[in-house]
Amino acid sequence: MNAISPFPDDFLWGASTAAYQIEGAAEADGRGPSIWDTFSATPGRTFEGHTGAVACDHYHRWREDFQIAADLGLKAYRMSVSWARLQPRGRGDLNPAAVAFYREQLADLRAKGIRSAVTLYHWDLPQVLEDEGGWPERATAEAFADYAARTAAALGDLVDEWIPINEAWCAAFLGYHVGVHAPGRQDRTAALRAAHHLNVGHGLAVAAIRNAVPGAKVGSAVIMTDVEPASDSATDREAARLADGGGNRLFLDPLFKGSYPEDMLRHFAPTGAFDAVRPGDMETIAAPLDFVGVNHYHRFVIEADPSDEHLKGRALPPSGPVTSFDWEIRPDSLRRVLERLSADYTDLPVYITESGASFDDAVGADGTVDDADRVDYLDGYMKAAGRAIEKGVNLRGYFVWSLLDNFEWAEGYAKRFGLVRVDYETQRRTLKRSAEWYRDVIATGGESLSWN
């Protein structure tokens, strides 16, 4: 413990990335197509038709990127491995070139003294599996378990923390209901079935990893939203309860309570989607974990909207300061979700596996990027994380999203979240002021945050 800062000395100050958002090299060394290659190549799906085909060219420039991570003093780095690179056809033997690539990366992190947290699925489903029905089908969860088993066996000696699936809510609902993410389907029942199979896939992968790597540390990366009713009226409170159910409890309850919330089962009963639940599934999903990872970006203030088919509500536009995504800046929401996680679900060690913000960074005449708004954002959110520790939350790490500017899914390269600027024309990396500021936060164990 430091003099002012509530963060413990062994706190994992980290940063996160994901394979499709940074690697590029979409056709290199036998990689197969993923749903994001297909989706982003389809006209009208992403901002100005941007794709991850080149992205940050991290596949070829990762040594430079990891040197930056080391220079910042990162204690941990969260990355994902690409299923479509490791299993180009979605099943079967791993691609040796992909195994060699990730082994080299992981060994380099270890040599630099940076812990690795590896996500197995950060949304890049091999296209061949989507062609067979994708996550709404149980076969995809089974294929995921096979991929997890093989990948854990191939990389397990070099990985410190495993995270099977990133933000199952986004993969299920943005991908299969709203349709703004790959594979771009708009079918609510399919999305609910996908949610269940992503949950099952998580549980199967936990078992597969533990089987392949005795002693492996396995956790999650659940997106947690702070939900509040717009008023004290019964209808707004009911709408907020449903929004919390569909966004948070549908994923947290099965993980930590071994069941779907009763109100969600009732609400979604007309869809028949939960007929997909088979005997034993809930035990599989609730496999004990070593830590819980939380990704946090939003508070939603929910007003009842009877015309909304899905959850009978709508989120009001934020009234206060926002990021360039129009996402509300409200650090206290991070404290609230962390305390709620502790109160309602688990006392496992918690990592904030993603927290960060997009801003329209301006590049100065001298090439520098003075991203004061990102510094303020992170300062506020890190202090909120500190307050959660003071309230007794077992918080052990904070991974900033993201180390680098990168391919922000449907928004392409228009939204920048990085501590490090990427010039996509030249692939030049420039440390933003937030990166230098974070280096001091890490070096002082959080004492350099603006506590007063």
415 vs 441: CA distance, rounded Å: 25
> Minimum CB separation from ligand IFM for residue 34, in Å?
14
> Minimum CB separation from ligand IFM for residue 174, in Å?
10
Which C-beta is closer to ligand IFM: that of 199 or that of 355? Answer: 355
Asked if 132 is an active-site residue, the reply is no
User: Is 5 one of the binding residues for ligand IFM (CB under 6 A)?
Assistant: no
> Minimum CB separation from ligand IFM for residue 327, in Å?
9
> Minimum CB separation from ligand IFM for residue 3, in Å?
34
Among 359, 401, 437, 438, binds ligand IFM (CB under 6 A): 401
User: Is 354 one of the binding residues for ligand IFM (CB under 6 A)?
Assistant: yes
User: Is 137 one of the binding residues for ligand IFM (CB under 6 A)?
Assistant: no
Which C-beta is closer to ligand IFM: that of 36 or that of 66? Answer: 36
> Minimum CB separation from ligand IFM for residue 171, in Å?
10
Which C-beta is closer to ligand IFM: that of 37 or that of 167? Answer: 167
> Minimum CB separation from ligand IFM for residue 183, in Å?
16
User: Is 295 one of the binding residues for ligand IFM (CB under 6 A)?
Assistant: yes
Smallest Cα–Cα separation from 105: which of 65, 152, 148?
A: 65
User: Is 405 one of the binding residues for ligand IFM (CB under 6 A)?
Assistant: no
Which C-beta is closer to ligand IFM: that of 151 or that of 295? Answer: 295
- The contact pattern for ligand IFM, residues 245-284, with x = CB under 6 A and - = no contact, is ----------------------------------------
Give the active site residue among 23, 130, 167, 328: 167
User: Is 399 one of the binding residues for ligand IFM (CB under 6 A)?
Assistant: no
> Minimum CB separation from ligand IFM for residue 295, in Å?
5
Among 7, 12, 14, 18, binds ligand IFM (CB under 6 A): 18
> Minimum CB separation from ligand IFM for residue 6, in Å?
26
441 vs 2: CA distance, rounded Å: 12
Three-class HEC string of the chain: CCCCCCCCCCCEEEEECCHHHHCCCCCHHHCCCEHHHHHHCCCCCCHHHCCCCCCCCHHHHHHHHHHHHHHHCCCEEEEECCHHHHCCCCCCCCCHHHHHHHHHHHHHHHHCCCEEEEEEECCCCEHHHHHCCCCCCHHHHHHHHHHHHHHHHHHHHHCCEEEEEECHHHHHHHHHHHCCCCCCCCCHHHHHHHHHHHHHHHHHHHHHHHHHCCCCCECCEEECCEEEECCCCHHHHHHHHHHHHHHHHHHHHHHHHCCCCHHHHHHHHHHCHHHHCCCCHHHHHCCCCCCEEEECCCEEEEEECCCCCCCCEEECCCCCCECCCCCECCHHHHHHHHHHHHHHCCCCCEEEEEECCCCCCCECCCCCECCHHHHHHHHHHHHHHHHHHHCCCCEEEEEEECCECCCCHHHCCCCCCCCEEEECCCCEEEECHHHHHHHHHHHCCCCCCCCC
91 vs 131: CA distance, rounded Å: 13
User: Is 408 one of the binding residues for ligand IFM (CB under 6 A)?
Assistant: yes
Which C-beta is closer to ligand IFM: that of 5 or that of 402? Answer: 402
Which C-beta is closer to ligand IFM: that of 227 or that of 276? Answer: 227
Site for ligand IFM in 325-344 (CB under 6 A): none
Which C-beta is closer to ligand IFM: that of 202 or that of 312? Answer: 202
Give the active site residue among 23, 161, 303, 354: 354
Which C-beta is closer to ligand IFM: that of 36 or that of 260? Answer: 36
Type of residue found at 216: A
- The contact pattern for ligand IFM, residues 147-176, with x = CB under 6 A and - = no contact, is --------------------x---------
Site size toward ligand IFM (CB under 6 A) is 7
Cβ-in-10-Å burial (0-12, 13-18, 19+) of 23 comes to buried
Asked if 167 is an active-site residue, the reply is yes
> Which residues in this chain contact ligand IFM in the complex, by CB under 6 A?
18, 21, 167, 295, 354, 401, 408
Catalytic positions are 167, 354
